[in-house]
Amino acid sequence: MEDKKANIVAVTTVVALIILIIVSRVFLKLSEAFFLICGAGAAVILAVFAYLIIRRHYNRRRMLMESRLVSEGRELRTEYSFLRKVAGVPTKFRHKDLEEATDHFRSLVGQGASATVFKGILNDGTAVAVKRINNGEERGEKEFRSEVAAIASVQHVNLVHLLGYCCSPGMPRLLVYEFIPNGSLDCWIFPRRETQNRRGGCLSWESRYRVAIDVAKALSYLHHDCRNVCLIGNDEKRAEKKWQYYPKIVNDKMREGKLMEVVDQRVLEGGGIDEKEVRRLVYVALWCIQERARLRPTMARVVEMLEGRTTVDEPPETRMIIVDLLSIDEDTPDGHKRRKIAAMAPHLVDCNLPSTSTCSFAMSIISPSAVFWGAKMSFTGPSVGSGGQTARRAFEFGRTYVVRPKGRHQATVVWLHGLGDNGSSWSQLLESLPLPNIKWICPTAPTQPITVFGGFPSTAWFDVGDLSEDAPDDLEGLDAAAAHVANLLSTEPTDIKLGVGGFSMGAATALYSGSCFTQGKFGNGNPYPAKLSAVVGLSGWLPCAKTLANKLQGVDEAARRAASLPILLCHGKGDDVVPYKFGDKSSRALGSSGFQDVSFKSYNGLGHYTIPEEMDEICGWLTSKLGLEGSSS
């Protein structure tokens, strides 16, 4: 546009000068003035032409340079894109492109509690799996990008590769993976039921053995070779819901020398099975589930065993049992419900053996300021399944960890762990909270037989006979646990505010302790000595909820305590261990019983575990209710 304007101005100027010269010739004849005007006009015309020539030459060079830069930029972008793909750097996709690739998110592949997966075809024809994260907007963009970087750094031939991501404001977070056309592995291993509409088949023995080796290599890479990703093994959901299975049938067949009887009949019919490989697989599997960590092989050694590069000795006996914790009801093919609890090994029935819990948190060594060892305590009261008869049980509480306050000591809180856990796992987390004025006491529950586990011993504050709302409460165990809490708080100075909290079964014990405080006595009638100022329950429930209102009715002092006791309940709506409705009903039961300062916080998508947002809520609530330094109260 500028060149066109310049040309118009130049032509106009030249034409005007020529007209001026012609007019001068007519009126001035051949006078001296005419020659002066003619010379000046000619000079200007030559200058205009010179300007046009120079400008045209300059513009030509500029256009040539621009085209060269555009070409080089295109090549650089192409090379950069190629290098990104070679290096495995994730690409940032536009939400619109992924929406078109997945046919507006209609090509559903699978769905879970936290995400939904869709199949998509990119513009270049690449098949991808687009994972849409549910409630992903709750996390910040920085945290999401950090997770993407960590996932993208994990690259292995036996791990699904992350191709890219999408992080658009106001839109769900999306992860783009390479598409695996063969589908889920379970469809190729387990027989297809008539009610299932899925593709799949029966893997040959050679393919199954190859899969076992490839999976072991992937795990070995994650454990030993992947430096950018930290594997954490203290998944509370897995810890309190799923116990590791001990393949008792395989172990028995191995001892009897009948290993081929455990192989899938369909694979046997196909032939091509190497009995040595079957034996090697069984041996490796049994070595991997040994109770003692020093006996279990590393993943690198597992790969060597499976590939036959090292000999595999026959594994020793183990005392692990078959239990599917908290998964009681399962639909049978005929539509009926069946109890999903397997029998324990006969030599464990006496329950005198030490606990071999495989569902506790990963242990970490800390340096507590003080360590207590529990003593045996006896309480009288009805026990689970006793039919109203009194029983006397001895409760030997485990190790107690104390986290000293970093600032001025203003409050002491006893924190109770969940089923199968211990005080060590929570003490480290509580020590990291920004609550420098609180002293944390983290006891360990006694190891006792659990009815719902078929009598298998585990660390628990009380016995659990059933997992329904109408299940009987173990008042004897609850009283013992509440008395232990009161005993731990009894030595605190009188000017220190006292509180109790817990997670899961620990939350139930904390709420029971709060109800005992309001009544002024335990369930067995003994007086409750401690004065509580706060109660916190995470992912738990309220024991004896149906009778609480009647116990407080007509007692003025109990009603006053209930009205003034602050209680915080937090529960995830995705909790499939202690259902969300248990926490909701507990909150409403407390409110109807006269507890006026009850706060109930729910979290969408949260399972049976804690998240930073939940811990932040606890910190702010405790700071406010206990009047700690930094609070506005």
> Would you please indicate which residues are annotated as catalytic (active-site) residues?
504, 575, 608
Q: Rounding to the nearest 10 degrees, give the CA dihedral for residues 299, 302, 304, 307.
A: -130
Query: CA–CA separation, 211 vs 157, rounded Å?
Result: 12
Q: How many other C-beta atoms can be found within 10 angstroms of the C-beta atom of residue 100?
A: 14
C-alpha to C-alpha distance for 219 and 509, rounded to whole angstroms:
38
Beta bridge partners, 127, equal 121
- How far apart, in whole angstroms, are the C-alpha atoms of residue 495 and residue 511? 23
What is the CA angle 167-89-141, rounded to 5? 25
In DSSP notation, 355-393 reads: P--SSSPPP-----SEEEE--EEEEEEE-TTSTT-EEEE
Q: How far is CA 510 from CA 191, 332, 371, 410, 490, in A?
A: 46, 37, 21, 20, 16
User: Which residue from 126, 125, 118 is spatially nearest to 95, judged by alpha carbons?
Assistant: 118
DSSP 543-558: TTHHHHHHHHTT-HHH
CA–CA separation, 189 and 216 (whole Å)? 17
Burial class (CB in 10 A: 0-12, 13-18, 19+), 314: exposed
Select from 184, 191, 208, 359 the least CA-distant residue to 278. 208
Cα distance between residue 262 and residue 250, in whole Å = 6
DSSP 8-state symbol, 335: S
d(CA 413, CA 280): 51
Q: How far is Cα 398 from Cα 375, in angstroms, rounded to an integer?
A: 8
Complete edge-to-edge strand list for the sheet that includes strand 399-403: 370-373, 399-403, 438-442, 411-416, 497-503, 534-538, 567-572, 598-603
> Annotated binding residue at 131?
yes
The beta-strand segments (E) located in 67-112 are: 91-92, 108-111
Q: What is the 3-state secondary structure (H, E, C) of 241-306?
A: HCCCCCCHHHHHHHHHCCHHHHCCHHHHHHCCCCHHHHHHHHHHHHHHCCCCHHHCCCHHHHHHHH
CA nearest neighbour of 435 among 231, 628, 244: 628
Distance CA 226, CA 13 (A): 74
Residue set of the binding site: 131
Residue set of the binding site for ATP: 131
